[in-house]
């Protein structure tokens, strides 16, 4: 099922900066090229709801990536607060009651369940006591989240094919860990399960989250245009 997602929304730019002023500069700099932004822990702590309001007031969408993991009542109240500020996507990282609590207050927001962080690989799984593969855990968590009523999941581009094959196309997949090329090295990179924008979309992702490859580029707009071209070819 083809989803009617504008090209300018396919890239969710990660505003991993330390002030609302810096976030505003990036929103202005990317202009009409990007219409979807991610606000994570760093920026949210620096700008609180004001930064979300700023992005929305400029006509863009916001993915609030705080990965809620708390007692269900607290998560429900947190989602309720975010709905006052018109968040488009809200990420949650928890068990069934936590996900259900977020869903109960989603209103117009879409709840995305975090499966396995893209900074984890098989060795991390062993250290945490998991005996299966990353792909198995991603699939299991995604299936459970969708059965509960989540709107989509966060998954690396590597697991997307199995998710689409096994769970269908009537849900959203948002893919972080996007790099210009799988062999490219981003300085101080902590991402382990990576893919290009083309690979992620071709595999079945709906959106890609991109931060450092754009933020660290000499010409960020050129990188955005290049990735959008990759996405267009994959669609």
Distance CA 164, CA 141 (A): 14
DSSP state of 93: -
225 is catalytic: no
From the candidates 3, 38, 61, 67, which is the catalytic residue?
Answer: 67
Distance CA 210, CA 177 (A): 7
User: Which tokens is 156 given?
Assistant: 């690396």
User: Which tokens is 87 given?
Assistant: 């968040």
Asked whether the beta carbons of 170 and 146 are under 8 A apart, the reply is no
User: Which tokens is 105 given?
Assistant: 């207050």
Distance CA 183, CA 15 (A): 24
Residue 189 CB neighbours (<10 A): 14
Residues annotated as catalytic are 67
């Amino acid at each position: 099922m083809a989803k009617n997602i504008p090209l300018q929304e396919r890239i969710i730019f990660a505003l991993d900066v330390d002030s609302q002023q810096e976030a505003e500069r990036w929103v202005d700099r990317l202009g009409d090229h990007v219409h979807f932004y991610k606000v994570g822990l760093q920026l949210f702590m620096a700008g609180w709801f004001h930064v979300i309001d700023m992005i929305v007031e400029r006509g863009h969408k916001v993915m609030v990536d705080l990965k809620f993991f708390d007692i269900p009542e607290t998560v429900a109240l947190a989602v309720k607060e975010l709905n006052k500020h018109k968040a488009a996507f809200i990420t949650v990282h928890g068990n069934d009651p936590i996900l259900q609590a977020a869903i109960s207050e989603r209103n117009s927001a879409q709840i995305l369940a975090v499966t396995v962080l893209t900074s984890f690989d098989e060795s991390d799984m062993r250290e945490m006591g998991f005996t299966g593969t990353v792909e198995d855990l991603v699939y299991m968590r995604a299936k459970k989240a969708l059965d509960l009523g989540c709107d989509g999941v966060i998954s690396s581009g590597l697991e997307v094919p199995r998710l689409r094959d096994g769970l269908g196309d009537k849900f959203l997949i948002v893919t972080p860990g996007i790099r210009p090329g799988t062999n490219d090295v981003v300085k101080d990179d902590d991402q382990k399960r990576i893919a290009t924008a083309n690979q992620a979309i071709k595999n079945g992702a709906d959106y890609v989250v991109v931060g450092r490859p754009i933020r660290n580029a000499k010409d960020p707009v050129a990188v955005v245009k290049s990735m959008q071209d990759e996405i267009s070819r994959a669609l």
